Amino acid sequence: MPSTPGNAVDGFLAGVPNERDELAGGGAQLTTPNGPLSGVLVVDLSRALAGPHAAMMLGDLGARVIKVESPDGGDDTRSWGPPFVPDSDGTQHSTYFLSCNRNKESIALDLKSEDGRGTLAELVRRADVLIENFRPGVLDRLGFSMHQLHELNPRLVVLSITGFGHDGPEGTRPGYDQIAQGEAGLMSLTGASRDEPTRVGVPIGDLLAGMNGAYGVVAALHERNATGRGRVVRTSLLAAIVGVHAFQGTRYTVAGEVPRPTGGHHPSISPYGLFHSSDGLVQIAVGSEGLWRRFAPAFGLDRPEWSTNPQRVADRAAVTAAVDEKFRAYPSAELLARLDALGVPAGRVRDLAEVYTWEQTRSQGLLIEVDHAALGPITLPGPPLRFDDDVAGAAVRASHAAPPTLDQHGDSIRQWLAEAGS
């Protein structure tokens, strides 16, 4: 039956309100977090990055996330490196795994065994959300097809992430980020020239698929509040990348142009991009004619043949060279100060050491301190969302939990399931 209107979070719950109490002890269930998704239980069957990132986003919003891993080494990313960081016993921990598994519990289950499948079934019965990124057909062979999952729990929202879609002529292809970046056209837009297609420096297809999946889950939970039933949410690395083609996509679908890479400069706005100062690099964004009319006279660039953006884009090479020549007369700090006084958006190109020591980064709650079960206190990049009632610098949750060690919470989860079933 449809859930009763009222508290939105109550409508998200699977109807087991007293089975999520805290447990004590080092390997225990995480303390019930605050946040908009507090009370939502997520079972995360995914590995690598897209699914784990989606699950982490839901955990950042207050959901309880139970990560189900293989007893044989756990999530693939536990072995991805270097870099690895050793604990006091010499065990190596992957920084890749640490990047996408905060605010989760870990239980190791052999899903090819009767016991492992039985424990998963009990988790599914109590879950609000299940996340998986197996190749199409794998869950079916394990006895957990979408139909069987909804027989166990009609209110379950399932997020299924694949490489190229769950159907279609190439739906069975495995999905790895760089392959998807190439196949989905992103590499053809990125780099210095068409002869040097370049991958984005982070696994952007995985990350975008995780983000799309997380917002699809939240929408499905909201819908379930009215219908009383869950549904399957699907996305893929292909869909995630095509979904952010933005104006480059309509250049082809509407104008019939095939976009090519333009290096550190914008294909549709000029000047907009990367330039040299006397001691480094700066970026500017002259994104309107009003900005150009302030910028150009200040640097001796107010030529009639460059008075409009289409003219400047058509003559981009010359505009870029002229701006670069003017900028090389200034040290970066002086140049950025002058641009700021003109109201022209500009900035440096920071490496990650500079980003993570930048006070602005810290002021936004983008670094969090957690206590890892094996490594002790560590610093992680934090969640990107804040809500209006947060104190200054606070993130969505009042506190965060470190990424778990393999099966760290297995005993406490099994205890919770036994007590809930008694």
The answer to whether 400 touches 65, Cβ cutoff 8 Å, is: no
For residues 209 and 90, state if they share a domain: yes
Q: What is the pLDDT of residue 396?
A: 67
Domain boundary at 296, 317, 350, which? 350
Mean pLDDT within 303-332? 97
Mean pLDDT within 330-343? 97
Length of the chain measured in residues = 422
Closest of 28, 15, 32 to residue 397, by C-alpha: 32
The answer to whether 218 touches 244, Cβ cutoff 8 Å, is: no
d(CA 315, CA 270): 9
Give the list of residues 6+ apart from residue 115 with CB closer than 8 angstroms, or none.
none
- 206 labelled catalytic: yes
Domain boundary at 350, 369, 404, which? 350
d(CA 117, CA 185): 39
For residues 280 and 208, state if they share a domain: no
The answer to whether 350 touches 280, Cβ cutoff 8 Å, is: no
Percent of the chain with pLDDT over 90: 83
Mean pLDDT within 123-145? 95
Boundaries of domain holding 43: 8-243+361-421
Residue 259 lies in a domain: no
Q: What is the pLDDT of residue 207?
A: 98
H/E stretch holding 419 reads: helix 410-421
Average pLDDT, the chain: 90
* Cβ neighbours around 17 below 10 Å, total: 10
For residues 170 and 294, state if they share a domain: no
Percent of the chain with pLDDT over 70: 90
Q: What is the pLDDT of residue 387?
A: 83
Catalytic residue among 60, 75, 128, 206: 206
**Which pTM was predicted?**
0.89
Q: What is the pLDDT of residue 194?
A: 87
Q: What is the pLDDT of residue 227?
A: 96
For residues 321 and 386, state if they share a domain: no
Q: What is the pLDDT of residue 247?
A: 95
For residues 198 and 342, state if they share a domain: no
Q: What is the pLDDT of residue 391?
A: 53
N-terminal to C-terminal alpha carbon distance within the chain: 25
For residues 412 and 276, state if they share a domain: no
- Sign of the alpha-carbon torsion through 208, 404, 411, 415: negative
Residue 159 to residues 60, 238, 418: CA-CA distances in angstroms?
17, 16, 26
Residue 314 lies in a domain: yes
For residues 133 and 173, state if they share a domain: yes
* Least confident interval from 48-62, 167-181, 315-329, 384-398: 384-398
Residue 324 lies in a domain: yes
Name the phi and psi angles at 103, rounded to 5. 60, 40
Split at pLDDT 50, 70, 90, the class of 193 is: confident
CATH number at residue 335: 3.30.1540.10
> In the predicted model, is pLDDT for residue 4 greater than 90?
no
Q: How many domains does the chain contain in total?
A: 2
For residues 228 and 143, state if they share a domain: yes
Split at pLDDT 50, 70, 90, the class of 21 is: very low
Q: What is the pLDDT of residue 357?
A: 96
Please work out, in degrees rounded to the nearest 5, the angle formed at the alpha carbon of residue 393 by the alpha carbons of 391 and 394.
60
pLDDT tens-digit map of 141-175: 999 999 999 999 999 999 999 999 999 999 889 88
